[in-house]
Amino acid sequence: MLFGIWLRDQDHHCGTLRLHGIEANKRSAHIGICIFDKRAWGKQLDAKAIATATRWAFEGLGLNCVEAGAYLENVASQRAFVKAGYLWLKDIEGKFNLHDKPTTVKVYFSKKDFD
């Protein structure tokens, strides 16, 4: 599922959020976000969109867990997931490339009714 993210009073979207890899039998999914309009950076739209989509995945789709990954170098994404209530799960080293070099992906998750 692909969602658009808009700034108030704007006629174009400034980013997208994708809920994918939805597995009804496991009641889980993956989430990814991209805020590509730099005018929207620093406005906390990423964390708000992540939290809203995650809540919808739990309440609307009946999922129990949503997982996300962020490159080690992408500190802004890591902060957004943590601010949205996600917890760090593990690091995956060297499996993915960024700018043609192996990098680490930090994996985060949110679990329904997790305190």
CB-side exposure of 14: number of CA atoms within 13 Å?
A: 18
pLDDT at position 114: 58
Helix (H) or strand (E) run with residue 19 in it = strand 13-23
CA distance 55 to 101: 35
Q: Quote the pTM value.
A: 0.90
Taking the CA atoms of 96, 99, 104 and 108 in sequence, report the sign of the dihedral they define: negative
* Alpha carbon separation from 105 to 3, 59, 115 (Å, rounded): 23, 28, 24
DSSP reduced 3-state for 75? helix
pLDDT at position 64: 96
pLDDT at position 56: 96
Domains for the chain: give ranges and CATH numbers.
2-111 (3.40.630.30)
* pLDDT values of the chain reduced to their tens digit, one per residue, 115 residues: 999 998 887 788 899 999 999 999 999 999 999 999 888 888 889 999 999 999 999 999 999 999 999 999 999 999 999 999 999 999 999 989 999 999 999 999 999 875 4
- DSSP class of residue 50? H
